[in-house]
């Protein structure tokens, strides 16, 4: 069956911290769209950070953001949400604050943190979007947020995973980068959002292809009819994929699109 929808991760799939979209990837995306294939970005980033890439790709379509917690249309109207339970979110922020961790929350397309530091500066530099300092976060009883992000050394993030998984219920804890730990609702994920988007568009699971590189991409790689891991993915990401394409620096997205769509 032919591919009718392609879901693309952004960071380390289409771009890196030091490289922009490749000409080959851009041409393949445009070729797919000209052939009537629906192409969407599916990212851990918030919509505000994603919007500049949507504009540059001329994607006037739906997008999946904050790790699958939100589906938005081209006007940033939210069509689907799956937020962290508000009391649990507040408990996680208090845990982070008292434990000396840096954590930030996402709402209204901003990311908010309770203390400024190298972590907030690192994230602002990586996304090009300034955050909002809110020192009241640890005092709140409830927090409405699509996602909580811990930023720390890879070693401390690795040690943190079993702690948050055992301490808090109804959450999902996954790494998007070695120094990022993303906390979402347990039923949230790029795969769940891709399923919901397919239902909105009348596109079947077997008519979808998803391409990504990190732990937060696994659910959509597994859900799509064709799940593709980037060549720069770790081995456990590659193991769940139907196909492993080339590295992000070698236009792996373009090669996957050419292989399965044309």
Domain boundaries in the chain? Answer: 5-81+188-261, 86-185
Share of the chain above pLDDT 90, in %: 94
In the numeric block, the tokens 């209204």 are attached to 108
DSSP conformation class of 132? E
Tell me the three state secondary structure of residue 82. coil
Q: Which residues pair with 151 in a beta bridge?
A: 180
Give the β-pairing of 70-72 and 78-81.
antiparallel
Provide the whole-model pTM: 0.95
Give 64's strand partners: 42, 71
* CATH numeric code, 5-81+188-261: 3.40.50.1000
Domain boundaries 86-185, CATH class? alpha beta
What is d(CA 19, CA 7) in angstroms, rounded to the nearest whole number?
20
pLDDT above 70: residue 1 = no
Question: Is pLDDT above 90 for 19?
Answer: yes
Residues 226 and 208: their CA atoms lie apart, in Å, by 6
**Which residue has tokens 């840096």?**
102
First to last CA, the chain: 12
């Amino acid at each position: 069956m032919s591919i009718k929808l392609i879901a693309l991760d952004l960071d380390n799939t289409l771009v890196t911290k030091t490289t922009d979209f490749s000409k080959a990837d851009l041409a393949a995306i445009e070729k797919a769209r000209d052939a009537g294939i629906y192409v969407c970005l599916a990212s851990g980033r918030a919509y505000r950070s994603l919007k500049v890439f949507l504009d540059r790709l001329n994607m006037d379509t739906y997008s999946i953001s904050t790790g699958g917690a939100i589906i938005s249309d081209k006007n940033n109207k939210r069509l689907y949400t799956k937020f962290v339970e508000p009391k649990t979110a507040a408990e996680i922020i208090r845990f982070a604050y008292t434990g000396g961790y840096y954590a930030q929350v996402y709402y209204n397309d901003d990311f908010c943190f309770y203390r400024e530091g190298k972590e907030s500066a690192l994230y602002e530099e990586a996304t090009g979007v300034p955050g909002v300092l809110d020192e009241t976060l640890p005092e709140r009883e409830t927090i409405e947020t699509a996602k909580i992000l811990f930023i720390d050394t890879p070693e401390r993030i690795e040690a943190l995973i079993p702690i948050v998984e055992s301490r808090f219920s109804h959450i999902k804890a996954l790494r998007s980068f070695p120094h990022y730990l993303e906390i979402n609702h347990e039923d949230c994920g790029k795969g769940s959002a891709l399923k919901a988007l397919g239902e909105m568009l009348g596109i079947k699971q077997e008519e979808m292809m998803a391409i990504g590189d990190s732990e937060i991409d696994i659910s959509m790689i597994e859900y799509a009819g064709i799940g593709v891991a980037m060549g720069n993915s770790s081995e456990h990401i590659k193991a769940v994929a139907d196909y492993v394409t080339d590295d992000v620096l070698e236009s792996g997205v373009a090669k996957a699109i050419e292989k399965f769509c044309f």
